[in-house]
Amino acid sequence: MTDQPRRKDLLDIQSLSVDEVNGILDAAVPFKDLFKRSVKKVPTLKGKQVLTLFYEPSTRTKSSFEIAAKRLSADVTNFSVSTSSVVKGESVLDTIDTLQAMRTDYVIIRHQMSGVPEMIARHTDASVINAGDGYHAHPTQALLDAYTVRETFGEIAGRRILIVGDIKHSRVARSTSRILKMLGADVRVFGPGTLVPDDRPEWLQAFANWDAAFAWKPDAIYLLRVQRERQDDQFFPSVQEYHKFFGITAQRFARVRDEGIYIMHPGPVNRGVELVDAVMDYDRSLINQQVENGIATRMAVLYWLKPQSTPLPG
């Protein structure tokens, strides 16, 4: 990783090479090892200032970045949009100018509009990390998902991953399918016809029903959250109908268990919609592992964007 030219920003997955992706995933391994130590902190980003700027709600991504930055000894400021001058009409760029005057080294931004992180990256000298923008991209979710698949199966190449749900509105589906495909996985999708776009990449085949999807023998099923907040129309009759036709019901869960299929979900989970409660306690549910790996991969991203190379923790 240290031989690669430094990038200023992380905005999406398609801008990265396979070597860069593997470099970040490799760097996350020693960071995850740190979690077993009594002192989980290293001085890698001592003196650096990290700003988190979330215009949309977040539990996992925001707290995970904060923990990651603090474990690297950075100073973290969480900019609270709801109590800031944004509510008085201040624009994103004016907000960034103000915060730039405070000499921030990293800006971690989530925004409901696609493209805002890129616009900010063009406008500031700080490293900008996209923590999710509209339908467009969620690159650190993709990296933590790839890390989790690699950790679980040993390698990603040749694995069959089925992504289920709202493909149309999902930045997670867009970024995670792309990274897994880049690393050699076979990725396919299944969901309501209204939520599986026809203009998806040709390598992203779709199944018409669960029987066909199970017959393909997926190694893991990646359930997407039903995102009512991004659906400006009614794409399925009700969440009950969604569960019945597209969720992991008790009956489908029995098949998942019998066939030893792993379950992934980016969170937050809608219990009784994407899955029945019992899936949360399934020994092949990777959902909590994804959260833990989010910290290690975000530490690796912050490290990777750092101006000069620094030894990884030994």
Nearest one of 202, 197, 136 to 165, comparing CA atoms: 197
The span from the CA of 60 to the CA of 58, in Å, is 6
The answer to whether 201 contacts ligand CP (rule: CB under 6 A) is: no
Q: How far is the CB of 60 from ligand CP (least distance, A)?
A: 4
Q: 10 Å Cβ neighbour count for 93?
A: 15
Region from 1-9, 19-27, 74-82, 260-268 binding ligand CP, contact rule CB under 6 A: 260-268
Comparing C-alpha atoms, which of 225, 143, 150, 137 is closest to residue 185? 150
Q: Which of the ranges 59-67, 72-80, 205-213, 256-264 carries the binding residues for ligand CP, by CB under 6 A?
A: 59-67
**The binder of ligand CP chosen from 201, 268, 272, 307 (CB under 6 A):** 268
By CB under 6 A, the residues from 74 to 103 that bind ligand CP are none
191 scored as a contact of ligand CP (CB under 6 A)? no
267 binds ligand CP (CB under 6 A): yes
Shortest gap between Cβ of 2 and ligand CP (angstroms)?
Answer: 29
Q: Is residue 230 within the footprint of ligand CP (CB under 6 A)?
A: no
Q: Cα separation of 165 and 228, whole Å?
A: 12
Does residue 253 contact residue 276 with C-beta atoms inside 8 Å?
yes
Nearer to ligand CP, 44 or 175 (CB): 175
228 belongs to the binding site for ligand CP (CB under 6 A): no
- Please tell me the distance from the alpha carbon of residue 56 to that of residue 29, in angstroms, as a whole number: 30
The amino acid sitting at 216 is: W
Binders in 104-133 for ligand CP, by CB under 6 A: 132
User: Should residue 218 be labelled a site residue for ligand CP when binding is judged by CB under 6 A?
Assistant: no
- By CB under 6 A, name the one of 1, 26, 29, 58 that touches ligand CP: 58
- Nearer to ligand CP among residue 49 and residue 175 (C-beta): 175
Q: Please give the order of strands across the beta sheet that includes 186-190.
A: 186-190, 160-164, 220-223, 262-264
CB of 237 to ligand CP, least distance (A): 26
If the CB atoms of residues 58 and 100 are measured against ligand CP, the closer one turns out to be: 58
User: Which runs of consecutive H residues, i.e. helices, occur in the chain?
Assistant: 18-34, 60-71, 92-100, 116-123, 139-153, 171-182, 210-215, 239-246, 250-258, 287-304
**Minimum separation from the CB atom of position 291 to ligand CP (A):** 9
Grouping H, G, I as helix, E, B as strand and the rest as coil, residue 161 is strand
Q: How far is CA 35 from the centre of its chain?
A: 20
| Number of shown-chain residues binding ligand CP (CB under 6 A) | 9
The residues binding ligand CP (CB under 6 A) are 58-61, 132, 141, 266-268
